[in-house]
Amino acid sequence: MLIFAGLGNPGAKYAGNRHNIGFMALDRIASDHGFGPWKARFQGQTAEGRLGDASVLLLKPGTFMNLSGQSVGEAMRFFKLEAPDITVFHDEIDLVPGKLRVKDGGGHAGHNGLRSIHQHIGPHYSRVRMGVGHPGHKDAVPGYVLHDFAKVDQDWLEDVLRGCSDGAPYLAAGDGGRFQNAVALRTAPPRSSGGGAGKAVKAGKPEKGSAPVPQPRPQTEPQPQPQTEPKDTRSALQKLADRFR
């Protein structure tokens, strides 16, 4: 059994907040991978299902952000798990919007939800740090994260959530690299190389890392051939006779 815990605040008032991106990620995973219905349990909401070969409990603490560790700790102890069996999805102001990083262990960096989890289970759990950007000044952070995502954020937010769902089986298998790649394929898909949709390449200057572009050979005018006189095949007697004609 693994636990994926998403951080946020309960209730419709907070549902669209930047602080609730962890809840959003778990909702998408549950929906896309056929998890069971959400049930009240462990001071929060839980859903059970499978990701690849792993049995996973999705947990959204209902204790409000600052007390998230109470819910996570209770679930961990019930299933007799260790901190490395827990992965926490949370908002990260030190990453730009749309960026995502997986981290094993470490400090809480002032995040109140992580701080609470540290207090209840220690620091040795995994985190999925989901970038939401920084307001520019530390005094503005509380109001910023407790504000809804703007309309202009919806496209990249949708891509990140879909990527988290795509990569969830890799994360459950312990492959954080492939999980991050799955998210990257949604947020920064590779450019098409056909139909002229890609970047144009100037003649004679291929893009770095690409094969050289063959150049047409220059057309040249045919060169005139020197004129040569026909070979004289007359006999000496005939030549002498021709001189006196």
Q: What is the DSSP letter of 233?
A: -
Q: Is 111 strand, coil or helix?
A: coil
Pair 90, 129: CB distance under 8 Å: yes
Selecting among 19, 33, 90, 111, the annotated active-site residue is: 19
124 is known as an active-site residue: no
Between vectors from CA 66 to CA 129 and to CA 75, what angle results, nearest 5°? Answer: 75
Task: Find out whether 173 and 102 touch, Cβ atoms under 8 Å.
Answer: no
Q: Are 122 and 105 in contact (CB under 8 A)?
A: no
Q: What is the DSSP string of 164-185?
A: HHHHHHHHHTT-HHHHHHHHHH
What span, in angstroms and rounded, lies between the C-alpha atoms of 211 and 99? 31
Q: What is the CA 5 to chain-centroid distance, rounded?
A: 20
Report the 10 Å Cβ neighbour count for 222.
5
- Where in the sequence numbering do the catalytic residues fall? 19
